[in-house]
Structure 1
Amino acid sequence: MTSPVRLALLGCGTVGSDVVRLLHEQSVDLAARIGAPLEIAGIAVRRVGRDRGDLPVDPALFTTDPLGLIKRDDVDVVVEMVGGIEPARSWLVEALRAGKSVVTANKALLAEDGATLHDAAAEGGADLYYEASVAGAIPLLRPLRESLHGDRINRVTGIVNGTTNFILSAMDATGAGFAEALEEATELGYAEADPTADVEGFDAAAKAAILASLAFHTRVTAADVHREGITEVTAADVASAKAMGCTIKLLCIAARGTDGRGETVSVRVHPAMIPLSHPLASVGDAFNAVFVEAEAAGQLMFYGRGAGGAPTASAVLGDVVAVARNRLAGVHAASESAYADLAVRPMGEALTRYHISLDVADRPGVLAAVAGVFARHDVSIATVRQGPAGGGPAGRGDDADLVVVTHVAPDAALAATVGELRGLDIVRSVASVLRVEGGA
């Protein structure tokens, strides 16, 4: 074997600790796969003296000077597990420009400013790998980045946030409301003390940007992604979905399309009803899954644990093995593929369907008036159902429940339809609006 490949680890939290343990436990196998042993040159942390239990590492390796560690001549690969935009961006740019390959799980940085990292990698002739940034241990990014490069991907639909999937699955299984399901997720450790990034869709939007960039050879940032969370999903919505033979999931959807400018892409994250026959409908608990539709390969499904220390550490080490082997061979991975440079369509131009629940006056002519609003915005109605989702009495005194499901239409037309419905005297309230995906 040749000289060791030396790693600088930035961060030693949940994921970083598992990376250290796996490096220790699998050292012989990793060395055999790479052709050289892996050694930890140093670990940058906030507090050197913190108790880290029985972590199998020499305490002398810890440092509070990440930049100094990165600049050391004996460091070959930088593994970043800190997260956030700064100072992580500055650290990784420094490493890449110096020709040191980088492995990162930092989805927020990649989604906000991946271009800077890719440019620095090209400048320094270094590798930039980030499999762990989306869907944990699920082998997903490398297939998009390498295995499917001979194909044309048309659509990527995914469940990429385990916390929200657990909450929605619990609501579906028990009939609980959002608050109760979130409380259970917090008690079980699936939700953070501050769950905003998950339940408001920020986490999923960052991952959607990364997936779209790889799938469509276009630089897509988190700012390009339309984002909605699940906080407004109610038990009534879940019951209505069941009545339609559907379930509700927080989906990230990236799709090709065309308009007057030529080929475009749309990228969005929002809760949606999907039929129980859809492959993603059966993905429960805190699992992730991504459904890819390609022209030659057809439909592909990637499924597994999308978060947690050990699964994420597995993806990190997979990338470490790849960049270490490249370093020994004197080669680099293919550079960023952003040649297509497709325009990103605004949400209003995305084609979707709506499920609209209305509380209306129970008198003659109401249905015709409601239908007239849809017609004025050129939105075709697929089905109309009167009465509560549970199948109880049709009305409550002078009120009635009306559920309308549309055919596919531009989102802007659907939103304008809902806006006009809210202004009608006969509409007491628009109880809920959800998109419907995966059906005709």
Structure 2
Amino acid sequence: MAEPLNIALAGLGTVGTGVVRLIETNAELIARRAGRPIRIVAVSARDRSKDRGVDLSRYDWEDDPAAMTVREDVDVVVELVGGSDGPALTLVRGAITHGKGLVTANKAMIAHHGLELAAAAEQAGVALKFEAAVAGGIPVIKGLSEGAAANAIDRVYGILNGTCNYILSTMEDTGADFGDVLADAQRLGYAEADPTFDIEGVDAAHKLSILAAIAFGARLRFDAVETMGVSRVKAADIEQARALGYVIRLIGTAEIDRSGGSPSLFQRVRPHLVPFGHPLAHVDGPTNAVVAEGNFMGRLLFQGAGAGDGPTASAVVADIIDIARGEKGATFSMPAGELEAMEPALTGHRLGRSYIRFTVHDRPGVLAEITAAMRDANVSIESLIQKGDPDNDGEVILAMVTHEGPESAVSEAMRILEGSDSLAAQPLVMQIIGE
């Protein structure tokens, strides 16, 4: 068997300790599949004295993770520190500069700096792998960049954040409102103490921008992802969606828009109504699922655990095994210099149906005002439900579903109603996914 592949591991949180545990538990199997043993030689974290439930005494401890990048006995650096900048980015740049292979689970860093890092890795002739950065243990990056490599992919979409999916599906099951379920998710460890990145859609947007680059051969444009989270979804929305034959899911969608002279890139993360018959409607709890549509392969569904020490560590070690086999490949399925710069797609002409929820003051003339705004904006109403809001005396919830039409028409209706004294809160607009 060939010489061992030596790795240095920075970051010993849930995923980092999971990597240590996995490599130790499955060492023989991993060596046979990699064609050589994989050996941890050094580790680093902020607190050396913390009990992490694994024996780290056999590995060198580096107080400064940057020291790993210059060790002659290290072939691959594994970055599990997190954060788009700071120590993580410094470590990754140093590893590439010193000719080390790099494996990371850091979606924020890849979304913000992926093009720079990919170009540097290609110039240095080293591998840059990040399967664990998107959808945890689901091999969606490998599936798109390798399994679907012969296809022209026009659309990729799915459930990319397990925290939001747990919250929404638990709201369905229990009838509880958002704040109560979020607190429960934090208690169970599904949500961070500061859940902003998750519940406001930023985490899903990071992942979506990475998937778009791989699926379409497009330059990363995280700044162009239209993002809205789930914090404004009420139990009443869940109830109305169910009555209409839908569930609510936070969906990230990326697709190529060819309606103009040159292709543009549409990227959006926001809650959607998903029909009961759609595969994504049955994705419950902290699960992720990604759908990709190719011109020859048709529709592919990738589904599984999107987070957790085991699934994420599995994806990290799978990347290490690829490097041990000598498999480098282009970081984003093609050389960084060949990724196409695409302008953000305009969205007003996009056709679809929408669910709109208004919270209004219970007084005469309100419904007439809202329907007049819809009429003036050329929005056709398919159905409308009115009910009192038990949490707010004197306020009423109006929920409507529109017929298919351009998104610009709904936006115009919202503009007409902006600042109206009839509205007790900003309306919530969610698109409806077709079958």
**Is it true that 1:417 corresponds to 2:413 in the alignment?**
yes
Q: 1:160 to 1:253 in 2, by over 3 A?
A: same
1:71 aligns with 70
1:404 aligns with 400
**Is it true that 1:345 corresponds to 2:345 in the alignment?**
yes
1:175 aligns with 175
2:115 is matched by which residue type in structure 1?
A
2:39 aligns with 39
TM-score, length-normalised on structure 2? Answer: 0.91
> 2:40 is paired with a residue of what secondary structure?
strand
| Whole-angstrom CA distance in 2 between matches of 1:319 and 1:223 | 27
| Whole-angstrom CA distance in 2 between matches of 1:350 and 1:202 | 23
**Is it true that 1:334 corresponds to 2:333 in the alignment?**
no
TM-score, length-normalised on structure 1? Answer: 0.90
Moved more, 348-357 or 173-182: 348-357
Shift of 1:407: 3.5
Gaps of 5+ in 1: none
Q: 1:104 to 1:346 in 2, by over 3 A?
A: farther
Q: Is the 8 A contact 2:158 2:252 kept in 1?
A: yes
| Whole-angstrom CA distance in 2 between matches of 1:343 and 1:232 | 29
> 2:256 is paired with a residue of what secondary structure?
strand
Q: 1:229 to 1:364 in 2, by over 3 A?
A: closer
| Whole-angstrom CA distance in 2 between matches of 1:313 and 1:135 | 12
| Whole-angstrom CA distance in 2 between matches of 1:364 and 1:406 | 21
Shift of 1:362: 7.1
> 1:403 is paired with a residue of what secondary structure?
strand
Q: Is the 8 A contact 2:111 2:220 kept in 1?
A: yes
| Whole-angstrom CA distance in 1 between matches of 2:139 and 2:122 | 24
2:166 aligns with 166
1:221 aligns with 221
> 1:87 is paired with a residue of what secondary structure?
helix
Q: Is the 8 A contact 2:69 2:98 kept in 1?
A: no
> 1:79 is paired with a residue of what secondary structure?
strand
Shift of 1:306: 0.4
Q: Is the 8 A contact 2:272 2:433 kept in 1?
A: no
1:194 aligns with 194
Q: 1:218 to 1:167 in 2, by over 3 A?
A: same
> 1:387 is paired with a residue of what secondary structure?
strand
Considering only aligned residues, what root-mean-square deviation do their CA atoms show, in Å? Answer: 2.5
Shift of 1:134: 0.8
Q: 1:365 to 1:248 in 2, by over 3 A?
A: closer
Q: Is the 8 A contact 1:210 1:220 kept in 2?
A: yes
Deviation digits for residues 257-303 of structure 1 (CA, Å, limit 9, x no counterpart): 12434211111111111111111011111111112222211111111
> 1:73 is paired with a residue of what secondary structure?
coil
1:83 aligns with 82
1:433 is matched by which residue type in structure 2?
L
| Whole-angstrom CA distance in 2 between matches of 1:203 and 1:365 | 37
Q: 1:196 to 1:339 in 2, by over 3 A?
A: closer
Q: 1:178 to 1:8 in 2, by over 3 A?
A: same
Gaps of 5+ in 2: none
| Whole-angstrom CA distance in 2 between matches of 1:172 and 1:144 | 32
2:382 is matched by which residue type in structure 1?
T
Deviation digits for residues 117-155 of structure 1 (CA, Å, limit 9, x no counterpart): 101111101111110001111111111111111111121
Deviation digits for residues 312-344 of structure 1 (CA, Å, limit 9, x no counterpart): 000000110001111xxxx63135325333222
Q: Is the 8 A contact 1:352 1:435 kept in 2?
A: no
1:122 is matched by which residue type in structure 2?
E
> 2:258 is paired with a residue of what secondary structure?
strand
| Whole-angstrom CA distance in 2 between matches of 1:324 and 1:312 | 19
Shift of 1:348: 5.0
1:266 is matched by which residue type in structure 2?
F
1:439 is matched by which residue type in structure 2?
G
Q: Is the 8 A contact 2:129 2:331 kept in 1?
A: no
| Whole-angstrom CA distance in 2 between matches of 1:435 and 1:146 | 34
**Is it true that 1:212 corresponds to 2:212 in the alignment?**
yes
Q: 1:175 to 1:116 in 2, by over 3 A?
A: same
Percent pairwise identity: 38
**Is it true that 1:311 corresponds to 2:307 in the alignment?**
no
Shift of 1:422: 4.0
| Whole-angstrom CA distance in 2 between matches of 1:24 and 1:400 | 58
1:421 is matched by which residue type in structure 2?
L
Q: Is the 8 A contact 1:217 1:341 kept in 2?
A: no
1:110 aligns with 110
Alignment of 1:154-303 (within 5 A): 154-303=154-303
> 1:17 is paired with a residue of what secondary structure?
helix
Shift of 1:360: 7.5
Deviation digits for residues 26-51 of structure 1 (CA, Å, limit 9, x no counterpart): 11111111221111121122232333
| Whole-angstrom CA distance in 1 between matches of 2:235 and 2:408 | 27
| Whole-angstrom CA distance in 1 between matches of 2:59 and 2:274 | 53
2:415 is matched by which residue type in structure 1?
G
Deviation digits for residues 49-100 of structure 1 (CA, Å, limit 9, x no counterpart): 33333x1433551111211111112211111111112221222122223332
Q: Is the 8 A contact 2:232 2:428 kept in 1?
A: no
> 1:383 is paired with a residue of what secondary structure?
strand
**Is it true that 1:439 corresponds to 2:434 in the alignment?**
yes
Moved more, 342-351 or 210-219: 342-351
1:120 is matched by which residue type in structure 2?
A
Moved more, 31-40 or 127-136: 31-40
| Whole-angstrom CA distance in 2 between matches of 1:232 and 1:150 | 40
Q: 1:364 to 1:417 in 2, by over 3 A?
A: closer
Moved more, 21-30 or 427-436: 427-436
**Is it true that 1:2 corresponds to 2:2 in the alignment?**
yes
